[in-house]
Structure 1
Amino acid sequence: MSAASLLRVLCIGLLGLAGFIQPAGADCRQGAEVHLWTAPLEPAPGYPLEVFAVATDGRLDDVVVTDPSGSRSRLRNLSSGGPPWSNYGTVFRPTQGTYRIEALRRGQVAACTQIRVGGGSSDRGSGEWDLAAEALYSAWIEHLFNAPLDRPLSFKSLGPVLRDPAQNFLYNYLGAREDERLPAEPDCADLPYYLRAYFAWKLGLPFAYRSCDRGSSNRPPRCQSPTIETGFVGTRASVARFRQVARAVINTVHSGSVRTRLDDDKTDFYPVPLKRDAMWPGTLYADPYGHIMIIVKWVPQQGRRSGLLLAVDAQPDNSVTRKRYWEGNFLFAQTPSAGPGFKTFRPLARSRGAGWRVLPSAALDGRSGLPRFSTEQARMDPEDFYARMEKLINPYGLDPASAYETTLDALMEQLQTRVTSVDNGETYMRAHAGTVVSMPSGSAIFETTGPWEDYATPSRDMRLLIAMKVLDELPRRIMRFPQLYVLNGESPARAASRIERLHGQRLRERSISYERSDGSTWRLTLGEIYDRRQALEVAYNPNDCIETRWAAPTGSTEASTCRRTAPRAQRQRMEQYRSWFRETTRPPR
């Protein structure tokens, strides 16, 4: 290489290095749509310093850390798609002094912050629910429930999730070991409120919730004026204070709080458009019958591999499970008693006086960068809703066989969740020998309190029966919506016939197992479960033995270990309610 060429290479290298190395005194500030967050609030030498770079305007390339000695390095991080987009990493053993942290995009600094380890504090944000705080909330939810896609994610309660420093960016954020003695057992309706209140507590933000009625058979729930909790704002509130707020919230909210009419302004949530850029992690799904899911991750479609929309929910027994979106989990119907669909929390803003206000729908027009208010879901019938969602999750279409396998996996996931739910009920009954759980009457079997709510499974069993029907009807769906599938010249009728044959094969191959009353394991094929659909219409009562809960035929070897039967009066009422399950339609309240 000539001297001139060598000089040219050297100059190019120095110019590239100049783009990476910033002078120590260079301007360092957060970006308009990119924000760097660090935890804990008071970083200490020798203890991990966690870094979250969160963007609402596109993917970030790198996070670069300059330590107190001036040494610069790229932070190994876990990136997530968006919006919002995030990069999460850890400086494991920081030394005393000032760290400069930069988020880079295409070689340019998109955001910068300086953190003093030992004697300093992290940037806690503006103290308002602005775009940066909402984006961190979304990224925090996604990271909290992140796990390999092939690994089931299920916990007995929310507590183990919040106490895992690898999952919870805000674990011990206040430095008071606050998460070690924190009860965290919200149920289905409480879960989104608990997570929102927890985040507000750690970041020093206000928090709002309302008291609502449950509606009726011909109108959705209505809510009162909001309670706005400001005790977290600008301070490090104690664990006792958070527990007090959480208890008040849990004693106030219920499933009706989320089923409000879509165009109702006096609510805790507002509906968003069915668009990927509007449905951030943390967005809720409220079904017409009261169940609530929380979006935690979008997995993009790649080639023949299906895209996924993952969500978590809590059950009456407080268990928390990650599930994939599909028709068997996300029930949708237009009903006068509810406003179902995807919704997100209304932000709070400072009022012109000294207080706070919950933003009305008119202010949620998208100009702030937050998802905009939209009532489009109110104009959709179920088939249009599910077709739109399928297009969002798999924009390039799916081979019918891939679509079938994805749906089958979701059904098996739902069956495995039922194994856990029924086993929890059996554990309770064994621990309370001789106890008869009181059974409510009428539609109250789906909404009540106490052991029946915790251990009976009428809502879950109805969802399971719906889910089995969805898988069974996939061939008809291919005929109805061929544009959702990659047929490669195959006719919809031929593709549907092929899936029917595949379904028959999988009914024999796939199975679940449960533990009988004597402790022995019993295996059930999916085909056997399909054959038991009629018996599963009355299999939700925890007073029945576990064999009956799995619809074991009377007089069979499987049923021979059964030692407990629900009272006759309860079984008679279950027979009266059987038509709800056969028709998979919840009764009016």
Structure 2
Amino acid sequence: MTKSDTIAKSTLGAFMFIILMLALNTWAQSNVQPGVTSKSFTGWVLSKPEWSPGDEANYEKYVAYVGEGVAKGLCNTVTNCFRNPKVNPYASSDPGGLKLYSDCADFPYFVRGYYAWRFQLPFGFITEVAAIQSPEGSRDIRYSPYGNVVTKRYDVIPKKVGNSVKYPDALEILNRIIQGKITSANFRVSYSGMDDDGMYSDFYPARVNREGIRPGTVIYDPNGHVVTVYKVTKDG
């Protein structure tokens, strides 16, 4: 094994960390009501500039609630889970044009974006990355040997047009932008030094303990697989 092989393997190993997208174990539908309840209005309204600790805690409960529905066999795809009011408590007021689809890489963005839209919370994400140069090169950015750097982000920001406000279209974001721009390459980004120019990573490493791993935590495998945690059992 050459020195460069050793470096590459060590670098790939460094990416095999558990990363947290933020997210308790139960969800009472009556406790938290979304700001968006209309089937006809699909604008993304922002009611505050940042998520509060309470917002994060409620998001964790929501992820856990959806996950429990899957575990009980109430649904088995993103579409039929999110259309089922017993799994997704907001399903009955979703607009008809919402596709409710994602693959494993899209899902952490989709579920957090869906929740953020419903509760009029800020949301942003990576839309483009570039591979860190390596002697081996890389044909597929999802498997770049030394990882990626962020080159472009998308932020949900309403704009003032004349005397009115134009809100980003939630359906456009959830149906098209997330589906078209997100790949597992987004998870292959080093968090180190990424805050310097605003092109920061969407994730950060989490300690492997009960405080660090919570509903909403994302596990990334450098082979390209992504899993969202909904529950940590008593035996770990």
Shared fold (TM-score, shorter chain, > 0.5): yes
**Is structure 2 residue 225 aligned with structure 1 residue 291?**
yes
- Amino acid aligned to 2:170: F
- Amino acid aligned to 1:284: V
C-alpha distance in 2 between matches for 1:163 and 1:231: 27
- Amino acid aligned to 1:280: R
- Amino acid aligned to 2:57: A
| 78, 82, 95: which one aligns with 1:162 | 82
Where does 1:30-41 land on structure 2 (aligned, <5 Å)? none
| 56, 66, 79: which one aligns with 1:144 | 66
Match of 2:28 in 1: 88
Match of 1:242 in 2: 170
Change (3 A) 1:133 1:294: same
CA contact (8 A) 1:125 1:133 kept: no
**Is structure 2 residue 103 aligned with structure 1 residue 187?**
yes
C-alpha distance in 2 between matches for 1:262 and 1:273: 14
Match of 1:220 in 2: 147
**Is structure 2 residue 90 aligned with structure 1 residue 178?**
no
C-alpha distance in 2 between matches for 1:294 and 1:216: 20
C-alpha distance in 2 between matches for 1:153 and 1:276: 27
C-alpha distance in 1 between matches for 2:91 and 2:75: 19
- Amino acid aligned to 1:212: V
Where does 1:433-472 land on structure 2 (aligned, <5 Å)? none
**Is structure 2 residue 137 aligned with structure 1 residue 209?**
no
**Is structure 2 residue 216 aligned with structure 1 residue 282?**
yes
Deviation at 1:85, TM superposition (A): 5.5
Number of residues of Structure 1 aligned to a counterpart in Structure 2? 178
C-alpha distance in 2 between matches for 1:185 and 1:168: 14
| 47, 50, 56: which one aligns with 1:134 | 56
Deviation at 1:199, TM superposition (A): 0.9
Match of 2:13 in 1: none
Match of 2:201 in 1: 267
C-alpha distance in 2 between matches for 1:259 and 1:127: 28
- Amino acid aligned to 1:242: A
C-alpha distance in 1 between matches for 2:148 and 2:219: 16
- Percent identical across equivalent pairs? 23
C-alpha distance in 2 between matches for 1:148 and 1:198: 18
1:299-351, CA deviations, whole angstroms, 9 ceiling, x for partnerless residues? 21xxxxxx3xxxxxxxxxxxxxxxxxxxxxxxxxxxxxxxxxxxxxxxxxxxx
Deviation at 1:145, TM superposition (A): 1.9
Change (3 A) 1:212 1:154: farther
Change (3 A) 1:221 1:85: same
1:425-449, CA deviations, whole angstroms, 9 ceiling, x for partnerless residues? xxxxxxxxxxxxxxxxxxxxxxxxx
C-alpha distance in 2 between matches for 1:253 and 1:142: 23
Secondary structure, aligned partner of 1:276: coil
C-alpha distance in 2 between matches for 1:182 and 1:293: 23
Deviation at 1:197, TM superposition (A): 1.2
C-alpha distance in 2 between matches for 1:148 and 1:191: 14
Deviation at 1:263, TM superposition (A): 2.8
C-alpha distance in 2 between matches for 1:275 and 1:159: 32
CA contact (8 A) 2:143 2:222 kept: no
Task: Tell me: higher relative CO, structure 1 or 2? Use CA pairs within 8 A at least 6 residues apart.
Answer: 2
C-alpha distance in 2 between matches for 1:215 and 1:159: 25
1:267-312, CA deviations, whole angstroms, 9 ceiling, x for partnerless residues? 1111111111121101100001111000011221xxxxxx3xxxxx
Secondary structure, aligned partner of 1:209: strand
Deviation at 1:227, TM superposition (A): 1.6
C-alpha distance in 2 between matches for 1:271 and 1:289: 18
Match of 1:63 in 2: none
1:56-100, CA deviations, whole angstroms, 9 ceiling, x for partnerless residues? xxxxxxxxxxxxxxxxxxxxxxxxxxx93545255xxxxxxxxxx
Extract unaligned runs of 5+ from structure 1: 1-82, 91-100, 102-123, 301-306, 308-392, 394-589
CA contact (8 A) 1:84 1:135 kept: yes
| 249, 252, 271: which one aligns with 2:181 | 252
C-alpha distance in 1 between matches for 2:67 and 2:157: 28
TM-score (norm 1): 0.28
Where does 1:21-170 land on structure 2 (aligned, <5 Å)? 84=24, 86=26, 88=28, 90=30, 126=48, 128-147=50-69, 151-152=72-73, 155=76, 157-170=77-90
Change (3 A) 1:264 1:168: farther
C-alpha distance in 2 between matches for 1:133 and 1:158: 23
- Amino acid aligned to 1:84: L
Secondary structure, aligned partner of 2:219: strand
| 112, 126, 131: which one aligns with 1:196 | 112
CA contact (8 A) 1:255 1:292 kept: yes
CA contact (8 A) 2:74 2:87 kept: no
Deviation at 1:184, TM superposition (A): 1.2
1:462-485, CA deviations, whole angstroms, 9 ceiling, x for partnerless residues? xxxxxxxxxxxxxxxxxxxxxxxx
Match of 2:7 in 1: none
C-alpha distance in 2 between matches for 1:89 and 1:229: 26
TM-score (norm 2): 0.65
Deviation at 1:153, TM superposition (A): 6.3
Change (3 A) 1:217 1:199: closer
Change (3 A) 1:273 1:244: same
